[in-house]
Amino acid sequence: MRVRNCIGFWLLTACGVSGSVAGIAPDWLKLIRETPTVQVEWATRYEHGEGLPQDYGRAMQLYCAAARRGHALAQYQLGWIYANGRGVARDDVQAAAWFRLAAAKGDALAQRMLARLDDPAKIKPANCVEPVDPTPKPPLQQFASRSRPFSPERAKVEALVNRIAPSYGLQPALVLAVIEAESSFNDQARSPKDAQGLMQLIPATAERFGVQNPYDPVQNLQGGMAYLRWLLAYFQGDVRLTLAGYNAGEGAVVRHGGVPPYAETRAYVEKITRVYGQLAHPPVAAVTRPAVLNRPPFVSALASPVVTPSAPSSLLITTARKP
């Protein structure tokens, strides 16, 4: 177990997150922008005080950031923390809410814990507080004021987006930011990779969403918005993962457990999120099942049973996971 933790720690520092050496904490801003897998690893270190001062507050925030992006282990850990009152007031209802999310992804241990806690009369949504990125972001309305039409053609595209986007449950500001990055509002744009039209649909994506003529502005917008809505449903409203999927494909996001380490994709995500100014999009129609992001081998082991002293002896929720 200790060897596995050391290997995981070395990998994280090698990947660019400032390591915890001699009590020096990692770069918090980097952590809150990291992949769910990395966030869970460091959340565990904060929770147990491994190589840095124990800090339940930061542990909970990092678990929350990963859990809201669909990371089953983070969801399980939040359930376990609430069930055992570790650093927070014990709350069986919140514990069940988080176990329920992890169990829905097929997590067997979460399913067992949920069976012991779940009370249909006391179901509440899972709640947590994510870390806040202090980087100044433009307000949602800034795109519209900054992007005043430079031509009648652009004005027509913006009018189409404002009319069509609500029917897909999308905020026009996000769609406009994507179009700006993809084609600069050129409905005849074509990339070297054969991405076409306003939202740069490759032929496979156009076919997938029923677009017969990708150079027709309305068809292209409908196809691109259908794909954005699908990605937002798949990644549960996470804008960064959605944009990464739009640029590199949802499969790449799942394989890497977050935004893939491609320079183009990371620059693309950063550019659009700064313009859009939001990291989470309001809920869209559930057109697909949520994604299950991959997690590395060193976060799959089980630690020794832990029993909170203040918990009654009848409490059966005693298993804590540690990377």
Name the CA dihedral angle for 46, 49, 53, 57, rounded to a multiple of 10 degrees: 30
Name the active-site residue from 180, 182, 250, 264: 182
Say how far apart CA 61 and CA 158 lie, in whole Å.
37
Mean pLDDT of 237-252: 94
Bridge partners of 302? 321
1 pLDDT more than 80:
no
Most confidently predicted of 217-221, 232-236, 278-282, 313-317: 217-221
Is 270 one of the annotated active-site residues of the chain?
Answer: no
297 pLDDT more than 80:
no
| Minimum mean pLDDT range among 134-148, 161-175, 225-239 | 134-148
Distance, C-alpha 114 to centroid of its chain = 24
Sign of the CA dihedral with 213 first, then 214, 217, and 221 last: positive
User: Mind listing the pLDDT tens digit for each residue in 77-92?
Assistant: 999 999 999 889 999 9
Most confidently predicted of 44-53, 222-231, 257-266: 222-231
Domains and CATH numbers, the chain: 2-9+16-131+295-299 (1.25.40.10), 142-276 (1.10.530.10)
Amino acid 294: pLDDT? 57
Q: pTM for the full model?
A: 0.53
20 pLDDT more than 70:
no
Mean pLDDT of 118-124: 77
5 pLDDT more than 70:
no
117 pLDDT more than 50:
yes
